[in-house]
Amino acid sequence: MDAAQRTSSTRAGWAGAGPLVQGFCGLIGIAALLEAAPRVGLVSPLYFPPLSTLIAVLAAEIQHGLFWTALGFTLQSWALGLGISVLAGTAIGIAVGSSSIVLATTRSTIEFLRPIPSVALIPLVTLLFGTTLRSNLVLVVYAAFWQVLIQVLYGVQDVDPVARETARSYRFGRWAQIRYVTWPTTLPYLMTGVRLAAAVALILTITAELVIGTPGLGKEIFVAQTSGAYAVMYAYVIVTGIIGVAVNVLARALERLAMPWHPSLRADVPA
Amino acid sequence: MTQERVQERITQLGRQAALALGLPLVLLAAWWFFSSGSSNFFFPPLATIVRTFADVWFSPRIVNDVVPSLVRLFIGFAAALALGLALGIPIGASRTVRNVVEPALEFLRAIPPPVLVPIFILLVGIENAMKVLVIISGCVWPILLNAVAGVRALDEVLESVVRSYRIRGWARLWHFVIPGAGPQIFAGMRQALSIGIILMVISEMFAASNGLGFSLVQFQRSFAIPEMWTGIVLLGLIGIALAFGFRLLENWLLGWYYGLRRSQRGGA
Amino acid sequence: MPRLSIHRLAIAAGLVTLAAASGERAYAADKITVGVIPITDVAPLYLGKEKGFFAKQDLDVEMQLAQGGAELIAPVVSGQREFGFSNLSSILIAQTRGLELVAVAPGASSTGEQGRDFGAIIAPGDSPVQNAKDLEGKTVAVNNLNNIGDSSVKASVRKAGGDGAKVKFVELAFPDMPAALANKRVEAAWIVEPFLTLSRSQGAKVVAWNLVDMAPNLMIAVYFTSKKYADEHADIVKRFKAAMTESLAYADTHTDEIRQIVPTYTRITKELIGKLTLPRWPTEYGRASAQITADLALQDGLVTKKPDLDALLK
> Mind telling me how many Å the CA of C88 is from chain B's nearest CA?
13
Going by their DSSP bridges, the two strands C219-226 and C101-109 should be labelled as antiparallel
Of C141, B105, C62, B122, residue with least CA distance to A233? B122
A65-74, A116-125, B38-47, C238-247: least confidently modelled range:
A116-125
**From A106, A206, A247, residue closest to B23, measured CB to CB:** A106
* C1 touching chain A per CB within 8 A: no
| pLDDT of B190 above 50 | yes
* C80 touching chain A per CB within 8 A: yes
Cβ within 8 Å of residue B7, ≥6 positions away:
none
pLDDT band at C14 (very low <50, low <70, confident <90, very high): low
For the segment A33-48, the average pLDDT, to the nearest whole number, is 82
Phi, psi of B58 (to 5 degrees): -85, 70
Q: How far apart are alpha carbons C309 and C102 in whole angstroms?
A: 10
Q: What is the pLDDT of residue A262?
A: 67
Q: What is the pLDDT of residue A219?
A: 92
Is the peptide bond preceding residue B44 cis, with omega within 30 degrees of 0?
no
**From C99, C170, C302, residue closest to B207, measured CB to CB:** C170
Cβ within 8 Å of residue C126, ≥6 positions away:
none
Whole-number average pLDDT of chain B: 84
Centre a 10 Å sphere on the Cβ of residue C29 and count the other Cβ atoms it contains. 15
| pLDDT of A127 above 60 | yes
pLDDT band at C7 (very low <50, low <70, confident <90, very high): low
> Mind telling me how many Å the CA of B143 is from chain A's nearest CA?
11
Output the CA–CA distances (angstroms, integers) from residue B241 to A104, A213, B221, B231, C178, in the order listed: 16, 35, 28, 15, 41
What ranges in chain A are assigned the alpha helix state H? 3-10, 19-40, 51-62, 65-98, 100-113, 122-129, 133-157, 161-169, 174-177, 183-212, 217-226, 230-258
| DSSP tag of C132 | G
Q: What is the pLDDT of residue A16?
A: 55
Chain A, residues 158-187, CB within 8 A of chain B, namely 160-162, 165
Output the CA–CA distances (angstroms, integers) from residue A83 to A77, A148, A212, B119, in the order listed: 10, 11, 22, 31
| DSSP tag of C120 | E
Q: How far apart are alpha carbons B107 and B42 in whole angstroms?
A: 38
% residues pLDDT > 70 (chain C): 91
Q: Which residues pair with C120 in a beta bridge?
A: C191
> Mind telling me how many Å the CA of C249 is from chain A's nearest CA?
25
For the segment C150-171, the average pLDDT, to the nearest whole number, is 90
The number of angstroms, rounded, from the C-alpha of A147 to the middle of its chain's C-alpha atoms is 10
Output the CA–CA distances (angstroms, integers) from residue C258 to B117, B166, C11, C244, in the order listed: 32, 77, 22, 15
- Residues in chain B within 8 Å Cβ distance of A211: 114
Q: What is the pLDDT of residue C11?
A: 56
Chain B, residues 89-108, CB within 8 A of chain A, namely 89, 92-96, 99-104, 106-108
Q: Number of helices and strands (H, E) in chain B?
A: 13, 0
Higher-confidence position of A195 and A84: A84
pLDDT band at C17 (very low <50, low <70, confident <90, very high): low
ipTM of the complex: 0.82
| DSSP tag of B185 | H
Residue type, C168: K
Considering B32-36, C79-83, C241-245, the range whose residues carry the highest mean pLDDT is C241-245
Quick check: A24 and B103 CB within 8 A? yes
Kindly identify which residue of chain C lies nearest to residue B130, measuring between CA atoms.
Answer: C185
Q: How far apart are alpha carbons A256 and B105 in whole angstroms?
A: 20
pLDDT band at C225 (very low <50, low <70, confident <90, very high): very high
| pLDDT of B268 above 70 | no
Q: What is the pLDDT of residue B107?
A: 86
SS3 B257: helix
Quick check: A116 and B187 CB within 8 A? no
Kindly identify which residue of chain A lies nearest to residue B108, measuring between CA atoms.
Answer: A241
Phi, psi of C167 (to 5 degrees): -85, 140
| DSSP tag of B63 | I
Higher-confidence position of B54 and C69: B54
Considering C45-49, C143-147, C268-272, the range whose residues carry the highest mean pLDDT is C45-49
Lay out the sheet containing C119-123: strands in order across: C168-171, C139-142, C188-192, C119-123, C205-208
Kindly identify which residue of chain A lies nearest to residue C263, measuring between CA atoms.
Answer: A227
Chain B, residues 46-65, CB within 8 A of chain A, namely none
Q: How far apart are alpha carbons C95 and C297 in whole angstroms?
A: 12
Whole-number average pLDDT of chain A: 81
* B209 touching chain C per CB within 8 A: yes
**From C77, C93, C146, residue closest to B41, measured CB to CB:** C77
Burial of C278 (0-12, 13-18, 19+ CB in 10 A): buried
Q: What is the pLDDT of residues C94-126, one digit of tens each?
A: 999 888 999 999 999 999 888 899 899 999 988
Q: What is the pLDDT of residues B62-112, one digit of tens each?
A: 888 899 999 999 999 999 999 999 988 888 878 888 888 888 888 888 888
Q: How far apart are alpha carbons B169 and B178 in whole angstroms?
A: 12
Q: What is the pLDDT of residue C247?
A: 93
Q: How far apart are alpha carbons B101 and A69 in whole angstroms?
A: 31
- Residues in chain B within 8 Å Cβ distance of C95: none
Q: What is the pLDDT of residue A4?
A: 46
Higher-confidence position of C20 and B101: B101
Q: What is the pLDDT of residues C65-75, one digit of tens each?
A: 888 777 788 88
Going by their DSSP bridges, the two strands C205-208 and C168-171 should be labelled as unpaired
Q: What is the pLDDT of residue A88?
A: 94
Q: How far apart are alpha carbons A246 and A249 in whole angstroms?
A: 5
| pLDDT of A44 above 90 | no
For the segment B202-221, the average pLDDT, to the nearest whole number, is 84
Q: What is the pLDDT of residue B113?
A: 82
Kindly identify which residue of chain A lies nearest to residue B196, measuring between CA atoms.
Answer: A115
Q: How far apart are alpha carbons B62 and B76 in whole angstroms?
A: 20
Q: What is the pLDDT of residue C36?
A: 92
Kindly identify which residue of chain B lies nearest to residue C69, measuring between CA atoms.
Answer: B221
Quick check: C70 and B42 CB within 8 A? no
A158-162, C108-112, C131-135, C244-248: least confidently modelled range:
A158-162
Centre a 10 Å sphere on the Cβ of residue A263 and count the other Cβ atoms it contains. 15
Quick check: A203 and B239 CB within 8 A? no
Quick check: B222 and C97 CB within 8 A? yes
- Residues in chain A within 8 Å Cβ distance of C77: 127
Q: How far apart are alpha carbons C261 and A188 in whole angstroms?
A: 54
Quick check: C272 and A228 CB within 8 A? yes
Radius of gyration for the alpha carbons in chain B, expressed in angstroms and rounded: 23
Higher-confidence position of A160 and B117: B117
Contact at 8 Å (CB) between A151 and A190?
yes
**From A219, A222, A227, residue closest to C268, measured CB to CB:** A227
Of C301, C260, C297, residue with least CA distance to C278? C260
| pLDDT of B203 above 90 | no
| pLDDT of B40 above 90 | no
Quick check: C171 and B206 CB within 8 A? yes
Quick check: B141 and A199 CB within 8 A? yes
> Mind telling me how many Å the CA of C263 is from chain A's nearest CA?
9
The secondary structure of C235-256, three-state, reads HHHHHHHHHHHHHHHHHHHCHH
For the segment B26-35, the average pLDDT, to the nearest whole number, is 83
Quick check: B42 and C74 CB within 8 A? yes
Give the neighbours of chain C: at least 3 Cβ pairs within 8 Å: A, B
| pLDDT of C151 above 60 | yes
Q: What is the pLDDT of residue A167?
A: 85
Q: What is the pLDDT of residues C181-218, one digit of tens each?
A: 888 888 999 999 899 999 998 888 999 998 988 888 89
Q: What is the pLDDT of residue A264?
A: 54
Contact at 8 Å (CB) between C41 and C108?
yes
Give the neighbours of chain A: at least 3 Cβ pairs within 8 Å: B, C
- Residues in chain C within 8 Å Cβ distance of B122: 179, 183
Contact at 8 Å (CB) between B65 and B210?
yes
Kindly identify which residue of chain B lies nearest to residue A144, measuring between CA atoms.
Answer: B195
| pLDDT of A268 above 50 | no
| pLDDT of A14 above 70 | no
pLDDT band at C5 (very low <50, low <70, confident <90, very high): low
For the segment B4-32, the average pLDDT, to the nearest whole number, is 82
